[in-house]
Structure 1
Amino acid sequence: MTQRILFVCIGNICRSPSAHAVLRALRPDWQIDSAGTSDWHAGEAPYAPMQTAAKARGISMADLRARQVASADFDRFDLILAMDAQNLTRTEALRPTGNDTPVHLFTDYEGIADDHVPDPYYTRDFEGCLDLIEACAKGLVARLG
C-alpha cells in the first residue's frame, strides 16, 4: 500500500526536507512531501549546509522547495509528522473540522525517547540531525511497511 506522508517543521528548509529526502530514498514508492508552519522560506531550496550534509550521505534534496502547510494537506496525506511539539500544535490548529488524519511527532518512530528533532539551523549539528532523522525514518518504515 502506498503511504502518503507529510513532514512539518517551522521553515521547511532543514528538518522536514531532510526527512522528506531520507524517506524518499528508503521508500521511493511512497508519496512524500514536506512543509513549514511559517511562510518565511516559501519557494526556497533547503538550507545549503543541510544539503551538503545530506549529500555526503548520498541523499539529494536539491529538487525540493519550501512551502507552507495548509489545511488541504489533511486530505492529501495519510499521516502528518511534525519535528517538534510547537510545530505539531501549529499543524493541528489547521485541522479541518471532522478530519481525522493522524498528526504525530516524527520521533515517535525512532524508539530512543527523543521528543523532538533539534533544529540544525540553530544548533549547527547537521550530522546529529540527520542521524536522528535516519533512525526515525527507519522506524517509520518498519512500522508502516
Structure 2
Amino acid sequence: MTHRILFVCLGNICRSPAAEGVFRARAPHDTTDSAGTSGWHIGDPPYGPMQAAAQAREIDLSDLRARQFVAEDFDRFDLIIGMDAENIANIETLRPSGSTTAVRLLTDFAPETGADHVPDPYYTRDFDGALDLIEAAVEGLHAHLQA
C-alpha cells in the first residue's frame, strides 16, 4: 500500500523539506510533499544550511521548492504531519467541513525522544539536532505505516 504524506512547517524551507527528504529516502514508493503555513518563501529552495546538513547525511533536498499549505491538501493526502503545535493549529483552521484526513505531530512517532515538537533550526541554528529528531520520528512513522 502506498501512502500520500504531506509534511508541514512554518516556512517550508527547513523542517518540512528535511522531513520529506528523510522520508522519501526511506520510502521512495510513497507520495510525499511538504508545505509551509506561511507564504514567505514560496518557490524558494530549502535553506542553505539545512540543505548542507542533510547532504552531509546523503539526503538531497535540492529539487524541493517551498509552497504554502492550502485546504485542498486535505483531499490530496492521507496524512498531514506538522512539526509543532502552532503548525497543527494553522493546518486545522483550513480543514474543510467533513474532512477526516489525519493530522499528526511528527514527534508523535518518536515518543522515546521526549520531544513534543521539532524546534525550528532557522532560529535555533541546530540543523543537526533537528535532523536527528526528524530521522528518529520518520523511522517511527515508517514503522507505524508498515504495521
Task: Give 3-state SS (helix, strand or coil) of 1:34's partner.
Answer: strand
Segments of structure 2 that go 5 or more residues without pairing to the other structure are none
Deviation for aligned residue 1:108: 0.2
In structure 1, the residue matched to 2:38 is 38
In structure 2, the residue matched to 1:50 is 50
Deviation for aligned residue 1:142: 0.6
C-alpha distance in structure 2 between counterparts of 1:42 and 1:135, whole Å: 28
Segments of structure 1 that go 5 or more residues without pairing to the other structure are none
In structure 1, the residue matched to 2:129 is 128
Matches within 5 A, 1:9-20: 9-20=9-20
In structure 2, the residue matched to 1:114 is 115
C-alpha distance in structure 2 between counterparts of 1:52 and 1:37, whole Å: 23
Matches within 5 A, 1:1-145: 1-112=1-112, 113-145=114-146
Deviation for aligned residue 1:143: 0.7
C-alpha distance in structure 2 between counterparts of 1:3 and 1:137, whole Å: 14
Two-structure CA RMSD over aligned residues (Å): 0.5
Q: Percent identity?
A: 62
Task: Give 3-state SS (helix, strand or coil) of 2:91's partner.
Answer: helix
Q: Using structure 2 for the length normalisation, give the TM-score.
A: 0.98
C-alpha distance in structure 1 between counterparts of 2:111 and 2:65, whole Å: 30
C-alpha distance in structure 2 between counterparts of 1:106 and 1:131, whole Å: 13
Deviation for aligned residue 1:111: 2.1
Report how many aligned residue pairs link the two structures. Answer: 145
Task: Give 3-state SS (helix, strand or coil) of 1:5's partner.
Answer: strand
Aligned residue type for 1:138: E
Aligned residue type for 1:16: S
